[in-house]
Amino acid sequence: MRLGFIGFGAMGKPMAEHLLRAGHELSVWSRRPASADFLLARGATWCASPAAVARASEIVCTNVTGSADVEALAGELAQGFSPGGIHLDFSTIAPDAARRIAAMYAGGGVDFVDAPVSGGSGGAQAATLSIMWGGKLCEAVSPGGTALATRLQPIFEVLGKTIVRVGEVGAGQVAKACNQMVMVAAIEACAEAARLAEAAGVDFAKVRSAMLGGSAGSRVLEVFGGRMAAREFAPGVEARLHHKDYALLMDEAVKIGVALPVSAAVWQQLNALMGSGWGRDDSSSLLRVLEAGTEPDPAR
């Protein structure tokens, strides 16, 4: 398939490589051209602009940071897409932004699909991501015709192992917000457990391994709990990205009027983490937020 790809960060880079390796033609553009060199060396084609990427591709994948980045990119891609084109965005953005972009494309017969992922750079490298997507059932140019899922399947199958169409455009972002609520609350809970164990003079590494097989077992306890036990705070997942996601989901909570008491408490801890200058460290640094201001244990 003729694909485009824009956004070669920790997630986008391995994802683009998987698509190339699976035999797809890849047209690329980047604000920092050097970041695409590794793909050009593997046979990808450089384009002069996002519009040129859209002209060369049936589907353009993007994986950038914020709502504004995706909206600006979509404006440029729209100038190159033909009817039937698909903009498949893997970024984590506001559900509303996703819906606005879809509306902007609709007149031109172009589909927008929000397909945020979970699983981190490890999941991206191993092609085991969980992909939660929102979009129309059928492509805009042939209502009642080809299912979007069918057209997207060749891409999804080389990137992830859990693929769920959550609902209409924006629903993928709602699911991702839920993912972040559950995941980062689990990281915070893990940090609080580690802090309690440590203060009570109990080895958290042992507590963690005892809990792993039981009802408290989770991917977060395994991965982030492990980092806390080892006091390894290098990323992993940069905490600033979780902080960004919380701003999005709390903003959404304000709009729709729902109470999120645990998420609100977690959000404050992420704010404190950022204020301590640990934004580019792993989110397991939430443990260090709980320790801040306490005397370091001289025995450690």
Partner 1 sequence: MNVGFIGLGLMGRPMALHLERAGHALHLWARRPESLAPFAAVNARTHATPAEVAKHADVVIVMVADAPDVEKVCLGEDGLAATGKPGLIVVDMSTINPNAARSIGQRLAEKGIEFVDAPVSGGETGAINAALTVMVGGTPAAFEKVKPLLEKMGKSVTLIGDSGAGQVAKACNQILTGVGVLAVAEAFNFAARSGVDPAKVREALLGGFAYSKILENHGQRMLDRNFKPGFKAWMHQKDLRIVMEEAHRLGLMLPSAAATA
- What is the C-alpha to C-alpha distance for residues 235 and 223, in angstroms, rounded to an integer? 11
Catalytic residue among 176, 206, 244, 255: 176
Q: Is 223 in the site for partner 1 (CB under 8 A)?
A: yes
Q: Is 155 in the site for partner 1 (CB under 8 A)?
A: no
Sorted by sequence, the CB contacts under 8 Å of residue 183 that are 6+ apart come out as 118, 220
How many CB atoms are located within 10 Å of the residue 94 CB?
Answer: 24
Q: Which stretch binds partner 1 (CB under 8 A): 37-45, 50-58, 138-146, 201-209?
A: 201-209
Q: Which stretch binds partner 1 (CB under 8 A): 43-51, 148-156, 256-264, 274-282?
A: 256-264
Candidate residues 33, 83, 145, 217; the one interacting with partner 1 per rule CB under 8 A: 217
Number of residues that bind partner 1 (CB under 8 A): 77
**DSSP secondary-structure letter at 86?**
E
Q: Is 257 in the site for partner 1 (CB under 8 A)?
A: yes
Contact 48, 76 (CB under 8 A): no
Pick the closer one to partner 1 by CB: 203 or 232.
203
Instruction: Pull the structure tokens for residue 266.
Output: 């977690």
Q: Is 230 in the site for partner 1 (CB under 8 A)?
A: no
Q: Is 147 in the site for partner 1 (CB under 8 A)?
A: no
**DSSP secondary-structure letter at 155?**
H
Q: Whose CA is closest to 95, among 8, 189, 171, 39?
A: 171
Q: Minimum CB separation from partner 1 for residue 247, in Å?
A: 15
Q: Which stretch binds partner 1 (CB under 8 A): 5-13, 35-43, 54-62, 114-122?
A: 114-122
Candidate residues 44, 177, 228, 287; the one interacting with partner 1 per rule CB under 8 A: 177
Q: Is 300 in the site for partner 1 (CB under 8 A)?
A: no
Contact 102, 93 (CB under 8 A): no
Q: Whose CA is closest to 218, among 261, 188, 176?
A: 188
Q: Minimum CB separation from partner 1 for residue 262, in Å?
A: 5
Contact 147, 136 (CB under 8 A): no
What are the helix (H) ranges across 10-56?
A: 12-21, 37-40, 50-56
Q: Is 273 in the site for partner 1 (CB under 8 A)?
A: no
Any catalytic annotation for residue 176?
Answer: yes
Contact 132, 166 (CB under 8 A): yes
Q: Is 103 in the site for partner 1 (CB under 8 A)?
A: no
Q: Is 97 in the site for partner 1 (CB under 8 A)?
A: no
Candidate residues 41, 215, 299, 300; the one interacting with partner 1 per rule CB under 8 A: 215
Contact 246, 188 (CB under 8 A): no
Candidate residues 192, 247, 271, 274; the one interacting with partner 1 per rule CB under 8 A: 192
Residue numbers annotated as active site: 176
